């Protein structure tokens, strides 16, 4: 039996996600505070509901894509919330990035109503949602995960069971740590390039092109542990090579920055932590920088 799906919150992310559910068998019921937004979906055959509680009357799997923890709480357990009418065995899935503690708390409340709760934040942005290629990180029981995999497949081509409730959110926070730290590093690279008289728009084209080929930072995220790599391990020569190349290029960038008078704090952190983070220890260049001696 195909679960009927409800979708609450038709904003920048929710709108393209919900649109990809329109052609899915089982029917779609949508809800948003802005009636004019809902018309697009009802014109395409979806049902409209005025409140989250009304959505739960017509759906067994209910997705939520609102702004923050407070809105999620209201949608789930407010006076007109989903739990007022949710049928036992229903699954509530929150795609908003909220606190993992909030997710765990709401899971407990839902359990008292015999309703499953999953935190299911997404990665890939609105372009990914429009193309149906989002990544979804699901925190919840195995039973709930199996229930949501099929409907989530309408807007995602990677659906990961991160662990129990809260794990999906924790994975999203780790992913976004990389995302926004990389943005900050990119601004540092732009400052260096600009001081060197380069076209930083052209630099951006080069970065996007090469990252699409190499996988960017995710290319080194292949091990199942962050522990130090032992002798004889398959990854030791590969990541040692990555460290040595990285330390060389970072040191050259830092020398350029020094000549141009551009502070590069991210580069300083990177050269100190790259080898250790990769599990292979500092290389000769970083060791020399730390000790002021000669490379081993």
Active site residues: 172
Q: Element (H or E) spanning 289, and its range?
A: helix 284-291
H helices of the chain, where? 14-19, 35-43, 52-56, 69-77, 100-111, 125-131, 142-152, 167-195, 200-214, 235-260, 265-278, 284-291
Tell me the C-alpha distance between 69 and 59, whole Å.
22
User: Is 65 in contact with 16 (CB distance < 8 Å)?
Assistant: no
Q: Which of 6, 89, 96 is nearest to 51 (CA)?
A: 6
Q: Which DSSP category does 63 fall into?
A: E
Compute the distance between CA of residue 75 and CA of residue 81 in angstroms, rounded to an integer: 5
How many residues make up the chain in this entry? Answer: 296
């Amino acid at each position: 039996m195909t679960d009927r799906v409800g979708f609450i919150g038709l904003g920048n992310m929710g709108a393209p996600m919900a649109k990809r559910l329109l052609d899915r068998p089982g029917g779609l019921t949508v809800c948003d505070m802005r009636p004019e937004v809902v018309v697009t979906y009802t014109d395409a055959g979806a049902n409209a509901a005025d409140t989250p509680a009304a959505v739960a009357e017509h759906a067994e799997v209910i997705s939520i894509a609102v702004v923050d923890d407070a809105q999620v709480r209201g949608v789930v357990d407010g006076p007109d919330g989903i739990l007022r009418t949710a049928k036992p065995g229903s699954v509530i899935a929150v795609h908003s990035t909220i606190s993992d503690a909030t997710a765990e708390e709401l899971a407990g409340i839902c359990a008292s109503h015999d309703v499953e709760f999953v935190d299911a934040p997404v990665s890939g942005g609105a372009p990914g949602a429009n193309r149906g290629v989002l990544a979804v990180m699901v925190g919840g029981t195995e039973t709930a995960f199996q229930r949501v995999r099929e409907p989530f497949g309408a807007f995602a081509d990677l659906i990961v069971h991160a662990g129990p409730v809260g794990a999906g959110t924790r994975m999203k926070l780790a992913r976004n740590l990389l995302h926004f730290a990389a943005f900050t590093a990119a601004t540092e690279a732009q400052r260096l390039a600009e001081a060197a008289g380069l076209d930083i728009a052209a630099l951006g084209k080069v970065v996007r092109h090469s990252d699409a080929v190499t996988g960017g930072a995710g290319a080194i995220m292949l091990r199942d542990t962050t522990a130090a790599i032992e002798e004889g391990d398959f990854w030791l020569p590969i990541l040692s090579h990555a460290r040595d190349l990285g330390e060389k290029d970072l040191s050259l960038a830092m020398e350029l920055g020094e000549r141009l008078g551009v502070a590069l704090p991210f580069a300083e952190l990177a050269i100190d932590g790259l080898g250790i983070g990769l599990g292979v220890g500092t290389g000769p260049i970083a060791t020399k920088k730390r000790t002021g001696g000669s490379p081993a």
